[in-house]
Structure 1
Amino acid sequence: MSSNSLSLSMLLTNNQLVGENYIDWKRNLMIVLTAEKHKYVLTEQCPSVPTAESTAAQRQAYDKWVRSDEMARCYILRSISNVLQQKHQNMETAIKIMESLQEMFEHQGCQARQAAIRSIMNMRMKLGMPVRDHMLALIGQFNVAEVLGAEIKSKTQVDMALETLPEMFSQFKVSYNMNKLNMSLTELMKELQNAESVLKTQSGDALVVASVGPSYSKPKGKFGNNRRKKPNKNGPQQKAKKVKIDGKPKGKYFHCGEKGHWKRNCQGYLASKKQGGGELSFIESCLVVDSNDT
């Protein structure tokens, strides 16, 4: 046994399954079986027993599976308590042992799997946290859920990861969906790091502008907003006076110089008009003449 295999074996020996630690034990077991390239026997069926007509490749595949299964059984039996060893040592394959252990401690697995999925759904990237740290924590939770039996497709994992990002990555999510990109979690983490660096640069520029903005003011004088307006040569504009039809007229009547009556009511004008023999027209009787205008 190599030094690496010995260290992996010690990992299981020091963390034997005694009942309440089923989740941790299974995680360590999967690490060892993956490193030793024996994990596939838990997911792949044993090839058919070779016959006289079998090819060399078929015989080789069968022999390889049998050796890996035997090693997996040894790792499992060595890493469980004596009581559990006696119960499972006569089982033929590693997968049968694992199915039996899972049935015994299934409640732990279900609760832990549900807790892992719930943790993923509730995860949100905290303000100021590097996106790399957030994604590494998220990937770790997905691995825990997978070990516990959760089957979450890679595309679904990416969709869930995007939903944990803050508002600053909203444009990144829109671009990802519009371009119909397809990434793994690791690839997504790299792209998010690039986007994060761009966003930090943009926000830094915005802070510089904001810090300069309030202290800036337009110069006074010739080119500023505060220069004095030139006076109007024609003097202040006078508002056009309204002709008041009803009530008393404003201003003096030019014929007699008195205020407060219409031309049609001016006794002096009426007397002079009568002497001249003319008749008052409607316009003459309604006209108001302001002494300021005359």
Structure 2
Amino acid sequence: MAEGSSSAAGSSSSVPVKPSGSSSLMSALREIPPLRGDNYLEWKRKIDFTFTIAEVDWVLTEPCPTVPVEPVREASESNEAWDKRVKDFGPIKMAYDIKHTRWVSDNKKCCAVIENTIDPALTGSIEKCDTAVAYFERIKNQFTGSSKV
């Protein structure tokens, strides 16, 4: 039995551990120049690269997951049919919960990076946003279409 335990422990330790998106994000953060306005394109390019490396860029293209509609029992539905629909809904709800939690966390990281790479002189002129997509849109509107880009 000890031999089997040792083998199991050995096999689990040989599994490569992928660095978390948070550590990648933190290490890449220092490469992003503070947004001053005249450097919008460089700032945006480096932010996009950083989000890609940290694997949080998916929140820029996928909206926050919506709550799946829970099953409602039909008046004529048998107990067996109802129990099956409830059971089938479990994995759908679990997948939503996992994806929603990850989306909220990754979006929060993106917003924090955006907020913390804006020059302090500009922070008052850029209103906070709930999503990274909204932040980018607001910043883009402020700095493109003027001679600052």
TM-score range, shorter chain: 0.5 to 0.7
Alpha-carbon contact 1:42-1:94 (below 8 Å) kept? yes
- The corresponding residue for 2:26 is 6
Alpha-carbon contact 2:128-2:135 (below 8 Å) kept? no
For residues 131-210 of structure 1, the aligned pairs below 5 Å read none
Structure 1 residue ranges without an equivalent (≥5): 113-294
- The corresponding residue for 1:99 is 137
Structure with bigger RCO (C-alpha 8 Å, 6+ apart): 2
Q: Secondary structure at the match of 1:11?
A: coil
CA RMSD of aligned residues (A): 2.6
- The corresponding residue for 1:72 is 110
- The corresponding residue for 1:34 is 52
- The corresponding residue for 1:287 is none
Structure 2 residue ranges without an equivalent (≥5): 1-21, 72-91
Percent of aligned pairs with the same amino acid: 26
Alpha-carbon contact 1:50-1:62 (below 8 Å) kept? no
- The corresponding residue for 1:247 is none
Alpha-carbon contact 2:64-2:103 (below 8 Å) kept? yes
Q: Distance in 1 between matches of 2:68 and 2:120?
A: 35
Q: 1:74 to 1:62 in 2, by over 3 A?
A: same
Tell me the matched-pair count: 108
For residues 1-294 of structure 1, the aligned pairs below 5 Å read 2=23, 4-12=24-32, 15-49=33-67, 55-88=93-126, 90-107=128-145
The one-character-per-residue Cα deviations of 1:9-45 (angstroms, maximum 9, x if unpaired) are 1112xx1110100010011001100011111111211
Alpha-carbon contact 1:91-1:97 (below 8 Å) kept? yes
Q: Which runs of 4+ in 1 moved over 4 A?
A: 50-54
Provide TM-score, normalisation by structure 1: 0.33
Alpha-carbon contact 1:17-1:80 (below 8 Å) kept? yes
